[in-house]
Structure 1
């Protein structure tokens, strides 16, 4: 009987220990009121009004210069967008969606007879950046997996994101 209790206790402790490694974090700090991305410097900042809460080194689309114009161009969009969705089952660990394309983006792509594309996210790496150039995504913003865990917890849908050249 004592052996069974000991085994049950150990199993319970193992279960609790596994919970500590969850990719889903909690955040109780100041609200992130804006995300600012500087493509030239390869930096992303989470802000509470004018105060920088966190900053991250980032990777961009494989053709980082200029605004995304159409699907497949490898560029990361520029402009004002919003965080509009979350993907807990991302192929890139975790991801939060960016509201690209906006009506202007759709019209600009349509004017040249192309699709604007979509599915632009801030996401982790999930081992997919190994052996790749510094800017390796198809137009997304990539950070380390541990960083996207914090970002995923900190950002709320509707948070503005400014992506500057």
Structure 2
């Protein structure tokens, strides 16, 4: 059934946009991997680990994001679609959540309509396309700083998950991260990587979990 539904969506998209060709993928030297159980953001170039940062995640606890307001950090494969200065968070790097997998799961649960599902899929066909951000799946998920830095904020950031579903770094770390990213940079968010070799590469004990 899921395969049939995916085929039907592909056909619907092709009929709706008969003269639009898929944009060729752009190659980016860096990729970002977020390992939620370890509270880590890793910057990789090929097989090399370039940087790693401690992060704070959504207040909603373990599990991927499912619905607006659950305050969970999503899990899946995304891309950066934009970034800008933020008065509240210092700097905001926007991800193209909800992804296709989020949309399909939401549609099956009756959270979004067929039309919303198609709009989300269509956005992911476009280079740097931003899917609808105000469906019941939520939106405006990204990587950001902590705004005005105080000792109290830095202490909270170090010890607690405090965001509404985003991934937070310190302002200094966000500035450093910006040199590695751009529109189209792939961002993979996992609870725990299947490849334990990745954890070994970044010097993390696979038996230690920081998940709430």
Matched, 1:137 2:163: yes
Partner of 1:58: 55
Coordinate RMSD, CA, aligned: 2.0
Q: 2:72 aligns with which of 61, 71, 75?
A: 75
Give yes or no for contact 1:62–1:136 (8 Å, CA) kept in 2: yes
Larger Rg: 1
Q: Deviations over 1:39-76 (max 9, x none)?
A: 00000011111111111000000023001001101110
Q: Deviations over 1:16-48 (max 9, x none)?
A: xxxxxxxxxxxxxxx752101100000001111
**What TM-score, normalized by structure 1, do the two folds share?**
0.74
Q: Deviations over 1:99-135 (max 9, x none)?
A: 1101331232243343110100100001487385600
Q: 2:140 aligns with which of 110, 119, 143?
A: 119
**What TM-score, normalized by structure 2, do the two folds share?**
0.59
Q: Secondary structure at the match of 1:80?
A: strand
Structure with higher helix content: 2
Superposition map of 1:89-104 within 5 A: 89-104=86-101
Partner of 1:160: 186
- Name structure 1 gaps, 5 residues minimum: 1-30
Q: Secondary structure at the match of 1:108?
A: helix
Q: 1:41 aligns with which of 17, 38, 43?
A: 38
Count of aligned pairs between the two proteins: 135
Divergent runs of 4+, >3 A: 110-114
Give yes or no for contact 2:76–2:99 (8 Å, CA) kept in 1: no
